[in-house]
Amino acid sequence: MGIPGLTTYISNDSERYLEYYALHDSYLVIDGNSVCCQLYTWYARCNCAFGGDYDKYAQSVRDFFDKLLKCNVTPLVLIDGGCEDKKLKTVISRTKQKIEIASNYTLSSQHRTKFLPLLMREVFKDIMKEKGIRYAQCIFEADNTIAAIARILNCPVLSYDSDFYIYGSLYIPFNTLETDIVPNPAGRGYIKRCKIYYVDKLFQIYYGLNQSLLPLAAVLLGNDYVKQHMFKNFFHHLPRSRRRRCNNEQQRRIDMTFDWLRRRSLNEAVIGILRRLRKQERKHVLHTIETVINSYINAPLSVLYTLNIPAEIFSRVNMQNTSKIYKFEGDIYNLTFIDERTNDIELSDGEEIEDREITNILEEKKLISNESLVDNLPQWFINEFKQSRFPSYFIDLIIRKLYVCPAQIEDSSCISSIAISSKIISVIYGLLISGVQGRKFNMEYITRDENKKIKRYQLEYSDNIFGCKLPSLLNLREISIVIRREILNTTLTIFNAKYMNEIPSIWMLYIATMKYWIDQQEEPSKFNCHVYSLLFALLFNLIDCNIGFYRILNKFYQRFNRIVDNIRHERRMRNYRPQYSIDATLADAIREVDANDCLIAAPFFISNFEIDQKLHLQPKKFNITIVHGFAEFQNCLRHSMNLNALLGYPYEPTRVASVFNGTLLYNLCNNFKKRDNVEVYINLILQDSPSLSRLFNILLLKVKPLFNTTLENKADKYKKQKIKRYEKKYEKKKCISHEENHDEENPPQESTSEEFYDVNNSFSVLGTTQH
């Protein structure tokens, strides 16, 4: 992110550039995309290899905002929108790198490298909504808007992006923010200690440098939009500054660049750069310089309304938002060319290969975006996009008809997990471009192929769903919610909505997505343990609500061990046998969950929130097939949530942190695969928590019709297979002589555990699985 090496350059001399700062009683403009990731990387302590421990991440986000609010800080969070043309190459390059990391990711990898889970940003937004934090999404990149709002409010920016050393706003680097808050020594309340950057400190060290020159420094040093090697001839002639000792070539370049710029005006500096370029290169480079400079000095501020900034500030905004567009004045072709006859700095072989790969991806078919299409979007869509109800890739689909798909930890020998969502994505795309005039083009998406390489695929455009024409985006909000729900149901293969009506609204979309995901499988029965795990894991949030958030077994026992013993003893003494009716609604069953039952069941769940130590000792036991199934499901969930939002929420939004913990799901699924009858096993786990057992059985009763035979037990299937084998064997015996058949008069005995499995005795399950 940002300018390579600049964060290190500042940090290595932090006493000159950064000051200690007490954050309290002020606005704080937060770079949402950056801080969202940093909270996961620095604080969440999640297991990355299993697809996302979203409950743990949500708790870290809650804690972060709670502490800011205690310091009387008003967070204003800005989130990036669609990808601009100038950054597309960088986005694809990073996706390629993530695909390579994901393809070789192991349990030991997560100790070295964090891998961000697919639905992390959705969880981040859920917690902001829960806490009443003000947030908004820009139509395109948010950095310049973040810096502009911070300048208007005279408050700091919180990020971990070196671009903010250039913008001129007050800047708190995320890594300087202390975890805890302390009482304010100067008065009441609390403060959060950190360090803050003032751009004037940079100007004092490089006397003559000013704000107008800093964007040009970003161009020369290479940021997300510019490759540094574009200016290799320019750097050859720069005199080496003796202002400070530098550890590497990039650090020297930063020092040399600031030292060179401080002696020139902006126009003089641009001329000095262009003179060291050949004539045929100058137009392209000048366009890049102008584009980057303007991206730093001009910012769209319409999101101020979305953030509910007080009205009296708007007049100040209008007065200050008068930056002129930078345009170089002069004849670039009559500048004298200065050619330094030295060895050029060449790209390394790896960089050349990657650059060529990305260029090929982009040039298979020219990706021409049309940002003006945003101007023709309905106002309701723009408003809801700024409220961050929609993902950023919606803008990419509209202006470029391209979707750069996020990478996930998955089985790289299988087709990409995004493919299973193609029907949902197709409907999203059909709705988004339904209002576009003229010919409709197929969309394209970029993901990995079966060889772990990045590849571009095409998805056919369709303006109908099962023979019915999709409505226009323009009047999508005018259509009744019943029709919009029908579009979603049909997309997710819900053709009989009566089964959905019996499911609590908060689980409806989640379970509907399960059905869609299973319906796309060639062999659905292979995923029955995945489905049981997803359903059983729904209980963990109910347990959290009743006993609190515990993810470490020792901490739970320290708090509740004696209480649980007392509950068990008291129940034995009075022969506790509650009579729960199975003939009840799910809503009633949830409402009647007993808090004591939750305490008794909690240790089983908590023990499964951590990695089994056997996986560390024997990493080959890590089952990537299980992980791949849940990666597919997550992709389906992401896109069904996105379609649900686009349709105006015909279903209540899914709160991902309440239902999905990748480590728990992996452990459950791995455990269930060893069982002949998963339902009997689950009832055995819950035998001392009858209200939870009742809830789970009612849930199964309601959802089984959605899944056809997917939830058929292995024991039942085994019996059917055994009968068929015996019948075949009996037929064969008729054709064999008595002598030949003598040894087979009695059929061969199967293993005792299978032969004597008693489906009516739940304890027999313990004897059938430990082979």
Task: Give the model confidence (pLDDT) of 205-234 as tens digits.
Answer: 999 999 999 999 988 888 766 666 677 777
Q: pLDDT tens, 722-738?
A: 545 544 444 444 444 44
Q: pLDDT-based confidence at 371, cuts 50/70/90?
A: confident
What does the block give as tokens for 754? Answer: 């299978």
Is 173 in contact with 7 (CB distance < 8 Å)? yes
Q: Which tens digits make up the pLDDT trace of 553-603?
A: 999 999 999 999 999 999 999 999 888 888 899 999 999 999 999 999 999
Mean pLDDT for 628-650 is 98
pLDDT of residue 103: 92
Beta bridge partners of 78: 31, 136
The DSSP call for residue 623 is -
Strands 18-23 and 190-197: antiparallel
Q: How many residues does the chain have?
A: 771
Please say if the pLDDT value at position 715 is more than 60: no
The separation between the first and the last C-alpha atoms of the chain, rounded to the nearest angstrom, is 51
The label of the residue with tokens 């161009």 reads: 219
Q: Do residues 508 and 654 make contact, with C-beta atoms less than 8 angstroms apart?
A: no
**pLDDT for the residue 343:** 41
CA distances 467 to 460, 473, 496, Å, are 16, 18, 18
- CATH 3.40.50.1010 location in the chain: 6-350
Tell me how far apart the alpha carbons of residues 507 and 492 are, in angstroms, rounded to a whole number: 15
pLDDT at 739: 41
Predicted confidence band of residue 712 (pLDDT cuts 50, 70, 90): confident
Q: Quick one: pLDDT at residue 467?
A: 75
Closest CA to 388 of 127, 125, 143: 125
Mean per-residue pLDDT over the chain, rounded: 86
Burial class (CB in 10 A: 0-12, 13-18, 19+), 477: middle
Give dist(CA 757, CA 751) in Å, integer. 10
Q: What is the pLDDT of residue 617?
A: 83
Instruction: Please report which confidence band the pLDDT of residue 102 belongs to, taking 50, 70 and 90 as the band edges.
Output: very high
Band of pLDDT at residue 506, cut at 50, 70 and 90:
very high
CA distances from 365 to 442, 458, 568 (A): 12, 11, 68
Domain 6-350 has CATH 3.30.470.10: no
Q: Higher-confidence residue: 701 or 721?
A: 701
Report yes or no: 148 and 411 within 8 Å, Cβ to Cβ.
no
d(CA 129, CA 150): 22
pLDDT of residue 747: 40
Cβ–Cβ < 8 Å for 122, 61: no
**Confidence band, pLDDT 50/70/90 cuts, at residue 749:** very low
What is the per-residue pLDDT for 599? Answer: 97
pLDDT band at 762 (very low <50, low <70, confident <90, very high): very low
The per-type count for the chain, helices as H runs and strands as E runs, is 34, 13
What are the residues whose beta carbons fall under 8 Å from the beta carbon of 210, sequence distance 6 or more?
203
Average pLDDT over residues 255-277: 90
Cα–Cα dist 463/477, whole Å? 18
Measure the CA–CA gap between 543 and 549, rounded to whole angstroms. 9
Mean pLDDT of 63-73: 97
The region, left, alpha or beta by phi > 0 then psi within -120 to 50, assigned to residue 52 is left
